[in-house]
Amino acid sequence: MNPQTLSLRALLFLGLWHAGRRGLASAPELRDQPKKIAVVGAGIGGTAAAYFLRQEFGAGVKIDVFESGTVGGRLATVKIGDYEYETGGSMIHPLNLHMKHFIEKLGIPPRKEVSSKMAIFDGKELMFEESDWFIVNVFRMLWRYGFNFLRMQMWVESVLDKFMRIYQYQQYGYSFSSVKTLLHAMGGDGFLALMNQTLEETMIGEGFSQIFLNDIVAPITRANYGQSVRIHGFVGAVSLAGADSGLWAVDGGNKRVCSGLLYNSKSELIPARVTSIAVRVRPSKKGTTASFYEVSYVGESGSAHSLYDIVVIATPLHQGKYDITFSGFSPPIPSHYPGHYHQTVSTVVHGLLNTSYLGTAEPASEFTVSDVLTTDSKGSVISSLISLNPVHIPAGYTQPPASQAKVWKVSSSQPLSQEQLQNMFLSWDSVSETRWLAYPAYRSPHRKTPPFILHNRLYYLNAVEWAASAMEMSAISARNVALLAHHRWHGQVGKIDQEDLHTRLRGEL
């Protein structure tokens, strides 16, 4: 053995020994897992956070999930006759991998597919109606819009390609401290630039025609986000992906994923409204001090409070409805961040559609359009009109034509007046209205996005909605916040906000 290898070995040994020592010295801190974690909100974001937090912190930690309303949040159903129908978040993209993973893990099947047929209403008549013949649709579209359609598909696909990188990063345990660094890791400056421009500006810049934007793109953004092509480019791309084929939903209702994740994560559901969160400092056993979060809440049996090591806020800090007060923080944490949420009213009607309202001369018995999108015209009160299928498709089910009473969902930004309903429907036997504060009112250029990290161990999941609001976005944010909470707890800064992950991980595929 020559001396060089020896010293190398010795060095290596020393190095290892040293690392071992360091490991030992900080071991109590390392092994000290958090004891209690609170999650505020049991929508898909909060329940996914509970699931991923359990994954990160193991079986020993107690996870409490507070919910003031119903588990599922913006995923909700309404019962009409014998069946239930989605009134909130309804469709999931085939490449939404977290949502896919959840239903596989929980053993819930996707809902059986029912064919659909789309039309576009300009406020007077149906300017486009999908044919049963695929080739007819292709020719109609080519005739009117040239290759805009194909180009749109390619553009959305290129955004989606980059978007998908997040799954690999998360698989390797990487997390991001802000919406900006998360987007940048996926799509570089290009993604940040998307948030800086309207969808309209972005697409005109990419060479799409204004008529294509008005006739096709606007109806899609109106149907998905109740807003025009002036939303920013990133949420616009997400919205267009929402017009892809192969969209799916969860059998029995999307909200089943939330209750499933709660159960799977062995968290405790506390049916109460969180009113305030305060930071408290307590002396610890070791003679030093430790800080906790005191969560105050109001439930059926009155008000109470508990201390937590980590808190995840999984509800928008924007609505005026359930304000949470933050006290004792410096710098202070506001109850509301700038901007507001867009109202979308879902009116679910079981009745007979007045097909003349859509300006069609087709007899109702032959009118089989299921999804009516609308252009951004002055007089248009509705953003979409969808023939709903039940959350569970019974055997032998087919969508009846418009000549039969069936369940329609009208989406609008204002509640429908009696007069408007009477105009749209010849008759009905039930109407159920849900007023959602549905998703952010997107502006461009986008103002400062709220932070994921509100304080040392206090996290805000719904900041992600300002990039785009969707079930999968909340799930991605949930995983990110769980990783972030874990890495920050253990001081593993190497797993936070790493630059250039895409190139670094390329070899690992």
Ligand X SMILES: *[C@@H]1O[C@H](CO)[C@@H](O)[C@H](O)[C@H]1NC(C)=O
Ligand Y SMILES: Cc1cc2nc3c(=O)[nH]c(=O)nc-3n(C[C@H](O)[C@H](O)[C@H](O)COP(=O)(O)OP(=O)(O)OC[C@H]3O[C@@H](n4cnc5c(N)ncnc54)[C@H](O)[C@@H]3O)c2cc1C
Q: Collect all residues with Cβ–Cβ distance below 8 Å to 197 and sequence separation of at least 6.
A: 205, 232, 233, 444, 445
Nearest CA among 211, 250, 204, 207 for reference residue 91: 250
CB of 302 to ligand Y, least distance (A): 15
Contact indicator for 467, 195 with CB cutoff of 8 Å: yes
Among 324, 385, 407, 476, binds ligand Y (CB under 6 A): 324
β-strands 310-313, 36-40 pairing: parallel
Task: Provide the token pair at 236.
Answer: 């616009």
Exposure of 365 in the CB half-sphere (CA atoms within 13 A)? 0
Q: Pick left, alpha or beta for residue 505 (phi over 0 → left; psi -120 to 50 → alpha; otherwise beta).
A: alpha
Residue 344 near ligand Y by CB under 6 A = yes
The reply on whether position 363 binds ligand X by CB under 6 A is no
* Helix boundaries (H) for 26-65: 27-31, 44-57
Binding mask 114-133 for ligand Y (x = CB under 6 A): --------------------
Which one-letter amino acid corresponds to residue 274? V
89 binds, among ligand Y, ligand X, none (CB under 5 to 8 A by kind): ligand Y
Which of residues 352 and 481 has its CB atom nearest to ligand X in the complex? 352
**Number of chain residues interacting with ligand X (CB under 6 A):** 11
Site for ligand Y in 376-435 (CB under 6 A): none
For residue 436, the minimal CB distance to ligand X (Å) is 27
314 with 46: CB under 8 angstroms? yes
Nearer to ligand X, 209 or 423 (CB): 423
C-beta atoms surrounding 180 within 10 Å = 17
Interhelix angle 148-163/134-145, nearest 10 degrees: 100
**Piece of 206-214, 223-231, 418-426, 470-478 that binds ligand X (CB under 6 A):** 418-426
Segment lying near ligand Y (by CB under 6 A), choices 7-15, 70-78, 171-179, 450-458: 70-78
Question: Of these, 23, 445, 491, 494, which contacts ligand X (CB under 6 A)?
Answer: 445
Span of 26-34, 36-44, 378-386, 443-451 interacting with ligand Y by CB under 6 A: 36-44
CB of 276 to ligand X, least distance (A): 36
Q: Which is nearer to ligand Y, 228 or 355 (CB)?
A: 228
Residue matched to tokens 């993209």: 93
Residue 197 or 462 having the CB closest to ligand Y = 462
Applying CB under 6 A, does 43 fall inside the site for ligand Y? yes
- C-beta atoms surrounding 112 within 10 Å: 14
Query: Could you say whether residue 74 binds ligand Y (CB under 6 A)?
Result: yes
Rounded distance between C-alpha atoms, residue 156 and residue 242, angstroms: 10
**Binding of residue 236 to ligand Y (CB under 6 A):** no
Q: Is the separation of the CB atoms in 233 and 194 below 8 Å?
A: yes
User: With CB cut-offs between 5 and 8 Å by kind, which of ligand X, ligand Y, none does residue 189 bind?
Assistant: ligand X
Q: Which tokens in the block code for residue 119?
A: 């039309």
Task: Check residue 66 for interaction with ligand Y (CB under 6 A).
Answer: yes
Q: Which range, of 31-39, 63-71, 170-178, 479-487, touches ligand Y by CB under 6 A? A: 63-71
Binding-site member from 73, 253, 339, 351 for ligand Y (CB under 6 A)? 73
User: Interface with ligand X includes 158 (CB under 6 A)?
Assistant: no
Q: State how beta strands 371-374 and 425-440 pair.
A: unpaired
Per CB under 6 A, which region of 151-159, 192-200, 233-241, 379-387 contacts ligand X? 192-200
Write out the binding residues for ligand Y, residues 430-449 only, by CB under 6 A: 436, 438-439
The least distance separating ligand X from the CB of residue 468, rounded to whole angstroms, comes to 17
Binding of ligand X at residue 192 (CB under 6 A)?
yes
Nearest-angstrom CA–CA distance, 161 and 156: 9
Residue 30 to residues 37, 331, 336: CA-CA distances in angstroms? 17, 28, 35
* Contact residue for ligand X among 118, 126, 269, 426 (CB under 6 A): 426
Nearest approach, Cβ of residue 445 and ligand X (Å): 5
Whole-angstrom distance between the N-terminal and C-terminal Cα of the chain? 39
- Which of ligand X, ligand Y, none does residue 187 bind (CB under 5 to 8 Å by kind)? none
The partner in contact with residue 223, picked from ligand X, ligand Y, none with C-beta cut-offs of 5 to 8 angstroms by kind, is none
For the bound state, the minimum distance from the C-beta of residue 361 to ligand X, rounded and expressed in Å, comes to 12
Contact with ligand X (CB under 6 A) among 196, 343, 420, 498: 196
Would you give the DSSP letter of residue 72?
B
- Check binding of 275 to ligand X (CB under 6 A): no
Cα–Cα distance for residue pair 145/183, rounded to 1 Å: 31
Verify cis geometry, omega within 30 degrees of 0, for the bond prior to 219.
Answer: no
Distance between CA atoms of 129 and 121, rounded to whole angstroms?
Answer: 9
Nearer to ligand Y, 61 or 71 (CB): 71
Q: 3-state SS of 77-141? A: EEEECCEEEECCCCCECCCCHHHHHHHHHHCCCECCCCCCCEEEECCCCEEEECCCCHHHHHHHH
Binds ligand X by CB under 6 A, chosen from 30, 357, 428, 492: 357
Of the residues 108, 160, 193, 307, which one makes contact with ligand X according to CB under 6 A: 193
Site for ligand X, rule CB under 6 A: 189, 192-193, 196, 354, 356-357, 422-423, 426, 445
Site for ligand Y, rule CB under 6 A: 40-46, 66-69, 73-75, 88-92, 273-274, 314-315, 322, 324, 344, 346, 436, 438-439, 462, 469-472, 474
